[in-house]
Amino acid sequence: MAKSIVQNANVIVRLSLSFLCPTMRGLYTLLPPEAEKKCYDLISGYKDLTIKTVHSRKRTLGNYRQCGNGEHLITINDNLSPYTTLVVLIHEIAHLETRLRYGKSVPAHGKEWKQTYTILLKSFIYSNIFPKSIAENIMLHAMKPRATMSKEFIGILNSCNTD
């Protein structure tokens, strides 16, 4: 009985957050429930940002780009596990933040991006968004971020269930 009430409350929160932030409507169903509010708070601060979920791509999990009209677009594969989706979203938001702070003059995965990504990822770790079973691995990843995630790291993220 209590679980169904929690599930119903979760649905209400998801619906209200997607109403408040239509940019994230498709994304909320893919994120871990405990990350939704923090993601909303993070994303709602950006103007001209669209986040789209797209069908699986072979060589990329997500992408950030600034469109010609100045708008920002993040795409994320729709077949990822919830924690993989979250880490990819944080990765792409770090690109957005780096672009806004430094412009186009810095490398995509240079020291500025690494610093931004580490700060963002650690804020989710310290907020206890990630289960303890994977938090240590994510912290290690945050300490030495890479442009791509290894299959082993993705496997660790996929091993967690959000039920």
Token digits for 143?
């300490």
Of the given ranges (54-58, 109-113, 118-122), which has the lowest mean pLDDT?
Answer: 54-58
Residue 96 within any structural domain of the chain = yes
Q: How far apart are CA 46 and CA 6, in angstroms?
A: 30
Token digits for 115?
């610093």
Judge whether residue 96 has pLDDT over 90. Answer: yes
Tens of pLDDT along 24-77? 556 778 899 999 889 988 988 888 888 888 888 988 999 999 988 889 999 999
Distances (CA, A) of 91 to 6, 96, 109, 121, 144: 30, 9, 10, 8, 13
* pLDDT level of residue 17 (50, 70, 90 thresholds): very low
Residue 51 within any structural domain of the chain = yes
Can you give the residue range of the structural domain that contains 75?
Answer: 2-158
Give me the number of domains the chain comprises. Answer: 1
Average pLDDT (125-142) is 94
With beta carbons less than 8 A apart as the criterion, state whether 116 and 99 touch. Answer: no
Residue 163 within any structural domain of the chain = no
- Indicate whether this model's pTM tops 0.75: yes
pLDDT value of residue 160:
81
For the chain, the distance separating the N- and C-terminal CA atoms, rounded to the nearest angstrom, is 16
Of the given ranges (68-72, 109-113, 134-138), which has the lowest mean pLDDT?
Answer: 68-72
Considering the chain, what percentage of its residues have pLDDT values greater than 90? 52
Residue 79 within any structural domain of the chain = yes
Residue that has been written with the tokens 């430094």 in this structure: 102
